[in-house]
Amino acid sequence: MNRIDTRAAIVDAAASLLRESGPAAVTTRGVAERAGVQAPTIYRLFGDKDGLLEAVAEHVMAAFVAAKAGEVEAATAADVDPLDDLRASWLRQIEFGLTNPAVFRLLSDPERVAGSPAAGRGRQILAARVHRLAAAGRLRVPEPHAVALIQAAGVGAIQTLLATPREQRDPTLGETLMDAVLARILTDTPTGVPDGPVATAVALRALAPDLDALSDSERRLLIEWLDRITAAG
């Protein structure tokens, strides 16, 4: 095997062990045996066990994020209601965290998240879903604030559920938290007509970068005004 194939085989082997038995099972010897390589190869490619675990977490998360990106494109092309799309994505995120607790815990470390391309791409995809809501006139808060609220609530829900014995978990916790966040960020009118000046500003802010009738400087000025309105609201 070449270097790329060897690295992929090691990551796949470690990912299987991590999924089956958790981080403690990801030993150099165990991974080497499953991947069919010598232990020194792992040290040469990943440095140590922590380096290997980070690579595995990134690999699993990247695959999940790639699927989410495809979902956004499909939902946009099919004109799926942006709120329905966001709800479905939220539930899939909760399920991913509960199904991959070791990966979730690794990527819940703020330092790891800051340097994770997959986590950054995941945030971009969430921002795209929120942007669709804003463009539809459904958002009453600035898009970055909505993204932060959704992300914080999602991480909190997964952490709480993972910390609770499986038989004692509240199966409605995720949806209940989602409803609470939506009540905070959405307008009261489901018609797509912005409800009040702030919601109107948020909707126009979502569309402002595409207003070709304005010059670049005019668009920048308009965005500055709209950001000021939404921040004051």
Residues 83 and 144 sit within 8 Å (Cβ to Cβ): no
Banded model confidence at residue 19, pLDDT cuts 50, 70, 90: confident
Which CATH number fits the domain 1-47, given the four candidates 2.60.120.10, 2.30.110.10, 3.30.450.20, 1.10.10.60? 1.10.10.60
Find the helix packing angle between 3-21 and 49-77, rounded to 10°: 90
* Token pair for 146: 């909505």
pLDDT 10s digits, 79-93: 889 999 999 999 999
Top pLDDT among 137 and 77 is at 137
Find the helix packing angle between 3-21 and 39-46, rounded to 10°: 100
Beta bridge partner(s), residue 139: 186
DSSP 3-state assignment of 212?
Answer: coil
What residues does each domain of the chain span? 1-47, 57-232
pLDDT 10s digits, 147-174: 999 999 999 999 999 999 999 999 999 9
Helices (H), 22-162: 28-35, 39-46, 49-77, 82-99, 101-107, 110-114, 117-135, 143-162
Q: For the whole model, what pTM was predicted?
A: 0.75
- Confidence (pLDDT) at 233: 64
Q: 116: number of CA atoms within 13 Å, CB side?
A: 29
Which 3-state string (H, E, C) describes 90-109? HHHHHHHHHHCHHHHHHHCC
Cβ neighbours of residue 95 closer than 8 Å, sequence gap 6 or more? none
